[in-house]
Amino acid sequence: MIHIRQFAWPDYADVTKVWKSAGRDVLPRAELAAKLVRDPHLFLLAEHDDIVAGVVLGTFDGRRGWILRLAVDPAHRRRGIARRLIGELENRFAALGCPRANLLVMPDNVDALQFWQTLGYLPLPDVLCSKPISTPTTP
């Protein structure tokens, strides 16, 4: 049975395992702690028969929802786990009054592009631009 719920700190090792199994970067504890101050109810995991099998990190900036770090352990794919995670995240975005959710996919990640389009997330022509910002804590 698939069960979707909010992340709690005792899940961190299991979530890390899922990210690694799916080839995704692991969010360090300090970054995660900063995120959880804002919207902890948007960081979700999926348990399949009590095993953590999937994870997604949602954020809401007050205007748009962002979907980050979606991953499902390869041993648990094509069972609808990612679909259930995103469905629950969308419900939570809707409850916050968030009218649109965005995400980034690498252009060569064909499987993920297929997945997102199946769920109605369509590519836009915008190009991601990025710049590091120095902060008082930057080493």
Ligand X SMILES: CC(C)(COP(=O)(O)OP(=O)(O)OC[C@H]1O[C@@H](n2cnc3c(N)ncnc32)[C@H](O)[C@@H]1OP(=O)(O)O)[C@@H](O)C(=O)NCCC(=O)NCCS
For residue 129, what are its two tokens?
């631009």
| CB 110 to ligand X: min, Å | 7
Identify whether the C-beta of residue 80 lies closer than 8 Å to the C-beta of residue 2: yes
- Between residue 67 and residue 126, which ones bind ligand X under the rule CB under 6 A? 70-72, 77-83, 103, 105, 109, 111-112, 114-115, 118
Give 116's Cβ-side CA count (13 Å radius): 20
Q: Which distant-in-sequence residues (6+ apart) come within 8 Å of 97 by Cβ?
A: none
Measure the CA–CA gap between 21 and 119, rounded to whole angstroms. Answer: 23
Please report whether residue 25 would count as binding ligand X according to CB under 6 A: no
Pick the closer one to ligand X by CB: 71 or 98.
Answer: 71
Please report whether residue 22 would count as binding ligand X according to CB under 6 A: yes
Instruction: Name the site residues for ligand X (rule: CB under 6 A).
Output: 22, 24, 70-72, 77-83, 103, 105, 109, 111-112, 114-115, 118
